[in-house]
Amino acid sequence: MRPVVATFLFTEPRRLWAIAAVIAVGIAYLVLVLARRRTALRYADAALLPTVAPDRPPWWRHLLVGAALLALIAASAGAARPIRRHQQARRTATILLAIDTSDSMGATDVEPTRIAAATKAARSFVQGLPSGFSVGLVTAGAGAGVLVAPTTDHRAVEDALGRLQLHPGTALGDAILAALAAVDPTGKVPVDRPAVRIVLLSDGISTTGAPDDTAIAAAVDAKVPVSTISFGTDHASVVSQGQTVEVPVDQTALKHIADGTDGRFFGGVTSTAELRSIYDKIGTDVRYIREDTDLSSILAGLALVLLLTAVATSLASTSRALPV
């Protein structure tokens, strides 16, 4: 497990300007104290200063004022809503790999072919997932097919990746709907359902099946982000049904799907190395969940303690709150 790195930030940073006002008050107090001392020095010998002009207020009372100022700073920082942000490793998650199996994936612009490179990178991705994660495999050819329902038997998914066959047609929408059905056959979203992600790899747009927007709406309702990978170059061709067909990569549909489902879009992927890197990024996104801890109450409590301590000490000593 990689080390957890925590960061601290303010969600309402504009409110930090209040601290500048508190600092200004502190500077004004310091100037006032020094001015009093300079005035006393004008009319008395330095050796007689403690007698004719005793320090007013005593040094310990400056600490009380300082505590009050610190209380105001803490309160101002709390108003800016500070949080501690860190990543927590997930124990369970479900990932559906959806891979385009249209004829265009047989193009050789990515060695040895698009589909061979895609399955090799996907296999490596599955091997790197925690054993507690469920993985499923869906094809996006002329029709969608669930080759492996979500399972913790990762070896079954790896074996299925080696049996993919290409056919004419691309049904991205059907693939997303099939993946959603594989996760929740009833169509209902359990409150305690583990995190679910769909990772869709393709080189083009839907040519058959359900409209992409229908699938996007279903994914949004199910609260399942769909991350998409556009794989291939702009210069490639394949022989399909006896004809040579140009199959340049088309990123528009995949970006639309990712944007519409709050997923991540990865475009311009033209090599196996790049694809592996992207799968690693997706794996990191799924394996860790971001958690934010609100620190406002801690700073508010600190401000209250400081202020009450300063006031109580001053009242006990002089019957006045924070004398100057």
pLDDT in tens, 51-104: 555 545 566 677 778 888 888 888 888 888 888 877 777 778 899 999 999 999
Which residues have CB under 8 Å from 204's CB, separation 6+? 100, 102, 104, 170, 247, 249, 250, 253
Q: Same domain, yes or no, for 176 and 103? A: yes
Which residues have CB under 8 Å from 247's CB, separation 6+? 103, 104, 107, 203, 204, 232, 236, 237, 238
Q: CA 89 from chain center: how many Å? A: 13
- What is the model's pTM? 0.68
Does residue 160 belong to any structural domain of this protein?
A: yes
* Residue (of 153, 157, 90, 64) closest to 119 by Cα position: 157
Find the CATH number of the domain harbouring 250: 3.40.50.410
In the chain, the number of structural domains is 2
Q: Same domain, yes or no, for 79 and 206? A: no
Q: Same domain, yes or no, for 97 and 71? A: no
Q: Same domain, yes or no, for 48 and 109? A: no
Q: Same domain, yes or no, for 309 and 229? A: no
Does residue 281 belong to any structural domain of this protein?
A: no
Q: Same domain, yes or no, for 59 and 173? A: no
Q: Same domain, yes or no, for 11 and 106? A: no
CA distances from 205 to 43, 102, 250 (A): 90, 11, 7
Other Cβ atoms less than 10 A from the Cβ of 56: the count is 12
Question: How many angstroms separate the CA atoms of 151 and 36, rounded?
Answer: 78
Question: How many angstroms separate the CA atoms of 124 and 107, rounded?
Answer: 21
Q: Same domain, yes or no, for 42 and 182? A: no
Does residue 277 belong to any structural domain of this protein?
A: no
Tens of pLDDT along the chain (324 residues) come to 444 556 888 888 888 888 888 888 888 888 887 777 666 555 555 555 555 555 455 666 777 788 888 888 888 888 888 888 777 777 788 999 999 999 999 999 999 999 999 999 999 999 999 999 999 999 998 888 899 999 999 999 999 999 999 999 999 999 999 999 999 876 666 655 678 999 999 999 999 999 999 999 999 999 999 999 999 999 999 987 788 889 999 999 999 999 999 999 999 899 989 999 999 888 887 877 667 788 888 888 888 888 888 777 777 766 555 555
Q: Same domain, yes or no, for 127 and 246? A: yes
Q: Same domain, yes or no, for 111 and 195? A: yes
- The domain containing residue 179 runs over which residues? 90-270
Does residue 32 belong to any structural domain of this protein?
A: yes
Q: Same domain, yes or no, for 38 and 164? A: no
Q: Same domain, yes or no, for 62 and 111? A: no
Does residue 283 belong to any structural domain of this protein?
A: no
